A and B are shown apart, each in its own frame.
Chain A
Amino acid sequence: MRDDVLELLWEGLRQTLYMLVWSSLFAIIIGLILGIALVVTEKGNILEARLIHKVVSLMINGIRSIPFIILIVLLLPVARWVIGTTLGPTAAIVSLSIGAAPFLGRIVESALKEVALGKIEAAKSFGASPLQIIFRVLIPEALPALVRSLTIAVIAITELTAVAGAIGAGGLGSLAIRFGYQRFREDIMFATVITIILLVQFIQWTGDYISRSISRKRYKLE
């Protein structure tokens, strides 16, 4: 290993984390909104609205069926419009957020659907409003499942940052491609891969820990 490795690695990790944190944050916010919308507008739920349900669902399917690498290209004008450039980690955040949000919407939906309809009915029977049901029943009851789903999503976004890296977003992904692939620097390639593995492990471990401590409190599980 040459001594530039650590420096490059640190720079790549910093950029990856920067993209990861912000795009996860935006994607989770949009995903939560989409997922909640999907669940509550469904037939028989608290804000039944089948047209809205259909439109949101189609939109999600539409974006999800576009391969991410193509989606990034499609979203370049949006990145330019939002932050004025199409290069670098900040521009990638736009594509990453929009690209990951539909996937998040779906997994939030499936986590929320695990909440038994009976609990929602009980809440309704005590005079709770739809908003109260969403924030005081639906989300808290689904919390362990939500945390597990969001962990999967953040890991998926980590992978996407590497893809974005391949087309100029920086970060560990571009490091691996630029040095490892194009310049045959196997040491950098190797170090990058190890770093990504550690990063993914860390995310999984954190998510598991949070979800387990919630469940343990509720169900006295080991």
Chain B
Amino acid sequence: MIVIHDLSKTYKTANDTFKALNGLSLTIERGDIFGIIGFSGAGKSTLVRCMNRLEEPDKGSVRIGNTVITDLNERQLRKARQKIGMIFQSFNLFDGKTVFHNVAFPLRVSGYDKATIRRRVKEVLEMVQLSDKENAYPSQLSGGQKQRVGIARALVNEPDVLLCDEATSSLDPQTTYSILELLQEINRKLNLTIVLITHELDVLQHICKNVAVIEQGKIVENGTVDQFFLAPESDTARRFVHIVERYRQKRNVLEGAGAGI
């Protein structure tokens, strides 16, 4: 379970300050695929980045399982991060390392022995269906394959949580779909909690069980995905769903049938 309490983060630039998170509280159940949706600048990235403290919150707490992430010192934090996987919109693979060594990286920094690393890397590469690309370099992969490597790398340390910041936003719809399927399968197999930031309703609707809507650094709505689509309460949620509605109507007209999205 992830419990976020009263989290605040203010960015200070040379002559300006910006409150990106504003006393945000949120609870995510273990094994959930939890969507966080919001318009650009709402604070989504800031929120996940505060969860593994890539960004230091000014105030409030983040607890993952029994570990209060916000109480840890540098060394403890590094240890805790090994159990919090993260994947990125731009993949952030190491161009100078092969697929194998990209995936091995988290294990190597954790100090595992060669044989264990080899075994674990092979396992996760099989899971993401990239066993045949072990010796390829990232530049030789497609976007979808790169994100699979990213997922393998994030999972190799057997984390409890996987944080995804717009992980499919730079992929085409079909590739997005296959990545979502993969995440869903992993969630089932490993009972891994997945936190998924997105601004694509498609993503929400495909795999998320619960969703929180974030607006100006605060959660303004929080519930099941069905609730979000059927009875959106917040402004943001209504605006999102409204867009879908319009398309649904348009499509219904075009198809002359009642098929929903």
Contacts and interface: CB of A to CB of B under 8 A. Distances in A.
Contacts of B140: 220
Contacts of B86: 122, 125-126
B97 A140 contact: yes
A219 B81 contact: no
Interface string A200-222: 00000000000000100111100
A145 to B, nearest CB: 11
Contact of B106 (A118, A119, A126, A218): A126
B94 A119 contact: yes
Interface string A106-135: 000000000010110111111111001000
Interface of B: 52, 54, 78-82, 84-86, 88, 90, 92-97, 105-106, 108-110, 137, 139-140, 153-154, 157, 163
A124 B92 contact: no
Q: Which residue of B86, B94, B97, B106 has the most chain A CB atoms within 10 A of its CB atom?
A: B94
B30 to A, nearest CB: 20
A116 B97 CA distance: 15
Interface in A71-114: none
Given A118-B92, A127-B81, A129-B109, 9 more contacts: A122-B93, A124-B54, A125-B85, A125-B86, A218-B95, A218-B139, A219-B95, A220-B139, A220-B140
A143 B97 CA distance: 12
A218 B139 CA distance: 7
B105 A219 contact: no
Given A121-B54, A125-B54, A127-B82, A136 B137 contact: no
Contacts of B139: 218-220
A127 B96 contact: no
B79 A127 contact: yes
24 contacts: A116-B92, A119-B92, A121-B92, A122-B86, A122-B88, A122-B93, A124-B54, A125-B54, A126-B81, A126-B82, A126-B86, A126-B105, A127-B81, A127-B82, A127-B109, A128-B78, A128-B105, A136-B108, A140-B96, A143-B96, A214-B96, A218-B137, A218-B139, A219-B139
A126 B90 CA distance: 16
A77 to B, nearest CB: 43
B220 to A, nearest CB: 28
A126 B95 contact: no
B46 to A, nearest CB: 13
A159 interface: no
A137 interface: yes
B212 to A, nearest CB: 21
Contacts of A220: 137, 139-140
A127 B110 contact: yes
A42 interface: no
B74 to A, nearest CB: 9
